[in-house]
Structure 1
């Protein structure tokens, strides 16, 4: 998983570098779309010719893709918020190892998503300022409560107070629900957009979190 995150981060870095090298007044426009060289058969007795076909400019990301990235950031932030509790509160070394992978993996994906939003000139304000907005400050309503799979402020409070085997069980239960919510969000955007980077992000979330759900179910049943 870390290797895939590194590849995603490198891809995002290369994409940003490519934009920086574009001159003129088109800095706010998407890069030109991929072109393809095709062979055009000539008329009888004439040689074949080649032609360069493809869109002159890539389509901008859809509103659904932008919203997906903006909302996935706070969704990931809560997973990180849950995972960083494990080193001191979990009793199972396997739960600790899983939490460490989730922490590092989703933190890396957050960076990629934030970079993409900035490159597209879109707001990253949906990230909740880095704390996820899930702690229940002053009794205010959680602004991300409507997102699939999100733990409630009360559930987060219970997790922060849990220790040992009780923490292990609650962490796994909440994280399975959290990952299932992410898969719901992925399903809504996957293959319905135009941006290659977002579609790759969505597939990465899908494959990684499906595998982690299976792992967490095994740990619960052990």
Structure 2
């Protein structure tokens, strides 16, 4: 009987020791779990939004240059039916070929930036705000366009080149503003292209007028 009691006591003691050991392990496991859940990870922080690469001046440049180019194209389209000078005819063709794709490029940039392009004025001579007067950028008035449409021959050539020089000078000024204030690399590259091309065309027209 004494042996049985001693054996039972020993078994109970072993069970108690085992229970304490399991309790300590569970506590340790729980402690590790709390540390894991309480430690923030780098993926929980949102990354900063990517830069758009453009600013309000880029948008103004594109929205202003679309109708500006649009009027230059309309002026170029008048030449074949009114001029007989092969040099003027060639220049008008080159202006149209250069500026039509640039209008599309400017439109595509505005769409990429989530901005609506301004409409090309339905009445030639309207400025960027849709008014019948010359706006910034050397735009022709509706009256000036009517005078140009009514001219023929040498008179037309002279008037057309005078107006186109003024028009180009306005575009160059707009492009220079984009270079100094814009942020879009594509828009600034186009602005520089406009400056280079239209300054060369101004020089060419000044030579033809002499």
Structure-1-length-normalised TM-score: 0.67
Q: CA deviation at 1:193?
A: 2.2
Aligned residues: 160
Match of 2:164 among 172, 175, 184: 175
**Partner residue in 2 for 1:160:** 149
1:80-159 aligned at under 5 Å gives the runs 80-124=73-117, 126-128=118-120, 131=122, 133-134=123-124, 141-142=131-132, 145-159=134-148
SS at match of 2:120: helix
Q: CA deviation at 1:184?
A: 1.0
The Cα offsets for residues 129-175 of structure 1, whole Å up to 9 and x where unpaired, read as 6x4x3257xxx832x73222111111100111111111100000000
In 2, the alpha carbon distance for the partners of 1:178 and 1:135 equals 11
**Partner residue in 1 for 2:177:** 188
- Extract unaligned runs of 5+ from structure 1: 1-54
**Partner residue in 2 for 1:64:** 57
In 1, the alpha carbon distance for the partners of 2:150 and 2:189 equals 37
Contact 1:59–1:194 (CA under 8 A) maintained in structure 2 = no
SS at match of 1:174: helix
**Partner residue in 2 for 1:44:** none
**Partner residue in 1 for 2:189:** 200
- Extract unaligned runs of 5+ from structure 2: 1-47
Contact 1:89–1:163 (CA under 8 A) maintained in structure 2 = yes
- Identify, as 1 or 2, the structure richer in helix: 2
Contact 1:149–1:178 (CA under 8 A) maintained in structure 2 = yes
In 1, the alpha carbon distance for the partners of 2:114 and 2:131 equals 29
- What's the Cα RMSD here? 2.0
Q: Given the alignment of the two structures, is residue 209 of structure 1 paired with residue 198 of structure 2, yes or no?
A: yes
- Identify, as 1 or 2, the structure richer in strand: 1
In 2, the alpha carbon distance for the partners of 1:128 and 1:56 equals 34
Bigger radius of gyration, 1 or 2? 2
